[in-house]
Amino acid sequence: MPAGEGCVPLATVAGGSIHYETAGEGLPLVLLHGIGSNSRSWRRQLAGLCSDFKVIAWDAPGYGQSSDPAGKPSMRFYADRLRGLLDALDLPRIFLLGHSTGGVVAQEFCRANAGAVEKLILADTSKRGSKSKLEERLRMIRTMTPAQLAAERGPRLLSPSAPESLVREVVSIMSEVRPAGYEFAAIALAESDTQDVLRDLRIPTLLIWGGEDEITPVWDEVPPGARLEVIPKAGHLCYAEQPEKFNDIVRDFLSPLRG
């Protein structure tokens, strides 16, 4: 059940609880963060889109104030926990936006929940896991503190022109990762393969990319029926680096007259 008024917003799901932030009223837009982030990273979307939508940003299991994951790491695990959150909030149909690893979760959720997503937005995400990236991530999370990991990886998520204040914010949020949650997500991501999902989807789909993303380069091929928007002067965290442009693209796509 969702939390009552004045309480930390927590929803009870199978095997634990999910913390989420929410703002606004209207059609629900659910935001899924990446492997080195949490719901705090979406503050510009919670503030900028709340006049148009009921915006909900979760802490994935093992992140922020959500409980730790358990069992075998997989993207299906996250998709099932997201289903549990939506059931707790009585949201049978949503707009879904996933960034990076959150985008892979979004694709897996669509695979397992036909009809639950009205429109899908994927930002700077992937279609297939990488064993070499897994080795690097496991090495870093096992030999560094979260703060050291954030100082090493955080600045790389932004373009060279990003303001220092944003770099500090990104590093601060990334330093909050919990090693067990990060490792679980890294393994699940490495073993993921959603190449068939977009090919078979029959819902409006938007891809958004930072033009200077060196972490996850833009896909060579845009899936049939999907639309691609590239945001200049933005790295992997395009939604944080160019929030007004990002929000405008999202708002336009989710308009009843578009998509």
The answer to whether residue 1 sits within a structural domain is no
The answer to whether residue 117 sits within a structural domain is yes
The answer to whether residue 200 sits within a structural domain is yes
Q: Provide the CATH number for the domain around residue 133.
A: 3.40.50.1820
Where do runs of H (alpha helix) occur along the chain?
43-49, 75-88, 101-112, 131-143, 146-153, 164-174, 179-190, 195-200, 238-241, 243-254
Q: Which residue range forms the structural domain that includes residue 229? A: 10-254
Residue 9 or 173, more confident: 173
Q: Is 161 exposed, middle or buried (0-12, 13-18, 19+ CB in 10 A)?
A: exposed
The answer to whether residue 198 sits within a structural domain is yes
The answer to whether residue 70 sits within a structural domain is yes
Query: Tokens for 218?
Result: 């833009």
Res. 1: pLDDT tops 80: no
The answer to whether residue 3 sits within a structural domain is no
The answer to whether residue 206 sits within a structural domain is yes
pLDDT per residue as tens digits for the range 74-130:
999 999 999 999 999 999 999 999 999 999 999 999 999 989 999 999 999 999 998
pLDDT of residue 4: 43
Q: What is the largest CA-CA distance in the chain?
A: 50
- Structural domains in the chain (count): 1
The answer to whether residue 259 sits within a structural domain is no
CA of 127: how far to CAs of 114, 120, 148, 229, in Å?
18, 15, 28, 17
Q: What is the mean pLDDT of the chain?
A: 94
Which pTM does this prediction carry?
0.95
pLDDT per residue as tens digits for the range 131-153:
889 999 999 999 999 999 999 99
pLDDT of residue 7: 56
Tell me the backbone φ, ψ of residue 176, rounded to 5 degrees.
Answer: -90, 0
